[in-house]
Amino acid sequence: MSKKYPLGIVFLSLFPISFVSLAFQEQQYNPVVFNLAQLYDFNPVRGAVKQIKSVVYNEDKSINYESMLKIGHDGCVESFTFDQKKDEYLNGAHNYLFVKRVKNKLIGRDVSGPVEMVIGDNCQIISKKDSNGELIYQYNKDGIIAGSLLADTKKQYSKNDYQQ
């Protein structure tokens, strides 16, 4: 009997485990995508994402909002646009945001003026500065936004609890 035979069995028995592991990863939310979806109200998708375009319609078939998210080769946000044209339930005000990555920042504008988001080495948004001030984001162990602090006072601004 060849000594290669047991090695082949070991290889074949490990192959399904690695395949299952990859399949499991494909079913997880990318924290970068999930966090932006929580901040700007679009539906995240599971798995490896390069680009997401969302269009939400009102009951009268008019466009409520459109968004476009592009993820770079490094897994960080390259650009994000959000354009809320009409919301029949909240208000009729036009709201928008567009940001583009410049080194370790997302820089752009929203309806109120300039916006700047600092991105960490792990692609998480560390802080956001706009006409309302600056927020510092807090993360849970899974890399999901758990809340935010007002940068000037360090007071809790928001808190998110996620159920598994």
User: Which residue did the predictor score with more confidence, 64 or 2?
Assistant: 64
CB environment 17-33: b (16+ within 10 A), e (fewer): eeeeeeeeeeeebbbbb
Q: What is the pLDDT of residue 94?
A: 82
Is a pLDDT exceeding 70 seen at residue 23?
Answer: no
Helices (H), the chain: 4-26, 31-40
Q: How far apart are CA 67 and CA 41, in angstroms?
A: 9
Closest to 105 measured CA to CA, from 85, 88, 127, 130: 127
Contacts of residue 139, defined as CB under 8 A and 6 or more positions apart, other chains included, come to: 124, 145, 146
Please count the CA atoms within 13 angstroms of the CA of 162 that sit on its side-chain side.
13
**pLDDT of 94-138, one tens digit each?**
889 999 999 999 999 999 999 999 999 899 999 999 999 999 999
**pLDDT of 45-84, one tens digit each?**
888 889 999 998 888 888 888 999 999 999 999 999 999 8
Q: What is the pLDDT of residue 75?
A: 92
Q: What is the pLDDT of residue 63?
A: 86
Mean pLDDT across 16-29: 52
pTM: 0.77
Domain boundaries, given as residue ranges, for the chain? 4-159
